[in-house]
């Protein structure tokens, strides 16, 4: 399974974009815009369990058409949001 590192490849196009913006190195991946259905499912899952195991993360990623890394990051961010609220 090809899993993205979360960064755009360093192709010639990416290098030109970096040169044009005056930055060097890798470009950040574009921010993921989750659909309301995805957020609803993620929130429901989070209410049941704050931490996902690998198999649960894999199943949820497949069901929501997201990468496992996106699911993992969403849960990390959501736990931090909960911590800030408390």
Residue 79 maps to a domain: yes
Residue 71 lies in a domain: yes
Three-state DSSP state, 74: helix
7 DSSP β-pair partners: 28
Query: Domain total for the chain?
Result: 1
For residue 2, what pLDDT band results from cuts at 50, 70 and 90?
Answer: very low
Query: In the numeric block, which tokens belong to residue 62?
Result: 């497949």
Asked if residue 57 is part of any domain, the answer here is yes
Domain range for residue 45?
36-85
Q: Which contacts qualify for 1-7: CB closer than 8 Å, 24 or more apart?
A: 3/67, 3/68, 3/69, 4/29, 4/67, 4/69, 6/69
Residue 25 lies in a domain: no
What CATH number should be reported for the domain holding residue 47? Answer: 1.10.10.60
Least confident of 4-13, 33-42, 57-66: 4-13
């Amino acid at each position: 399974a090809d899993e993205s590192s979360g960064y755009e490849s360093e192709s010639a196009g990416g290098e030109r974009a970096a040169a044009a913006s005056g930055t060097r190195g890798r470009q950040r991946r574009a921010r993921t815009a989750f659909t309301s259905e995805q957020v609803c499912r993620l929130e429901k899952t989070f209410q049941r369990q704050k931490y996902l195991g690998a198999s649960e993360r894999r199943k949820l990623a497949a069901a929501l058409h997201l990468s496992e890394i996106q699911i993992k990051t969403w849960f990390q961010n959501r736990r931090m949001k909960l911590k800030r609220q408390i």
